[in-house]
């Protein structure tokens, strides 16, 4: 029975990592500007619900949502930065390997063909 893990292959495309990283950074940067729009409607709703038990809950809920979404924006920006850093790392490793292989001294190898065998080793 063959090992299914042998068919798995990991391929990394630095350009795709860069693209995803830039998207995450961009979206993460947009989130804080949008989250400020949450608190005012929640405050208005809480004011309209004064005297009801849900008034405080609505105000707290809006504040908590803003806090969590602001954190999400920061996290997305951080992940985007890490993806871009990872892409740069892969590019550098590929470059280093390529340079290493180009600068490697060539070793001459003597290759014997069947016709070049001494007569004592003939089949």
Q: What is the CATH number of the domain that holds 63?
A: 1.10.287
Residue 48 lies in a domain: yes
Residue 27 lies in a domain: yes
Mean pLDDT value across the chain: 87
More confident residue, 96 or 104: 96
Is 28 within 8 Å of 80 (Cβ atoms)? yes
What is the Cα–Cα distance from 97 to 18, expressed in whole angstroms?
A: 21
Residue 6 lies in a domain: no
pLDDT above 70 as % of the chain: 85
Domains in the chain, number: 1
| Domain extent for 36 | 12-98
Going by C-alpha positions, the residue among 79, 100, 106 that lies closest to residue 24 is 79
Residue 21 lies in a domain: yes
């Amino acid at each position: 029975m063959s090992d299914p893990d042998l068919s798995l292959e990991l391929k990394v495309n630095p350009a795709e990592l860069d693209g995803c990283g830039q998207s995450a950074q961009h979206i993460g940067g947009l989130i804080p500007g949008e989250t400020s729009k949450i608190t005012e409607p929640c405050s208005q709703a809480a004011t309209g619900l004064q005297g009801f038990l849900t008034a405080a809950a609505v105000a707290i809920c809006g504040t908590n949502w803003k806090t969590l979404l602001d954190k999400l924006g920061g996290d997305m920006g951080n992940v985007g930065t890490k993806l871009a850093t990872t892409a740069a790392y892969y590019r550098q490793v590929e470059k280093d390997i390529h340079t290493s292989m180009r600068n490697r001294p060539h070793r001459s190898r003597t290759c014997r063909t069947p016709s070049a065998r001494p007569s004592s080793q003939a089949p």
